[in-house]
């Protein structure tokens, strides 16, 4: 294997689904500025997600509308037939 090919800054990171407050912790090397206190009392970097496997319709089997940025309203107003 080539040396210095993979990142060396792997650490535990919390990924939090903002639509339903589900969070999980895993190793990652993603850069983040925010931290969160986890269930074990330690602070970890946090990455905020708009959608995860607990809120995605494919995994849940339900259509759940998650519109955090108003994209659907923008689309409807742009392509609304008059």
- Tokens in use for 42? 């330690």
Domain ranges of the chain: 9-78
Closest CA to 35 of 55, 56, 61, 16: 16
CB atoms within 10 A of CB 44: 16
Residue 9 has pLDDT above 60, yes or no: yes
Over residues 35-65, the pLDDT tens digits come to 999 999 999 999 998 777 777 665 566 665 5
Which pTM was predicted? Answer: 0.64
């Amino acid at each position: 294997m080539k040396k210095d090919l993979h990142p060396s800054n792997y650490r535990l990171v919390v990924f939090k689904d903002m639509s339903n407050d589900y969070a999980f912790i895993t190793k990652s090397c993603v850069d983040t500025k925010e931290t969160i206190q986890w269930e074990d009392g330690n602070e970890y970097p946090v990455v905020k997600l708009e959608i995860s496997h607990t809120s995605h319709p494919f995994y849940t089997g339900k259509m759940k509308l998650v519109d955090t940025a108003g994209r659907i309203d923008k689309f409807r107003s742009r392509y609304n037939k008059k």
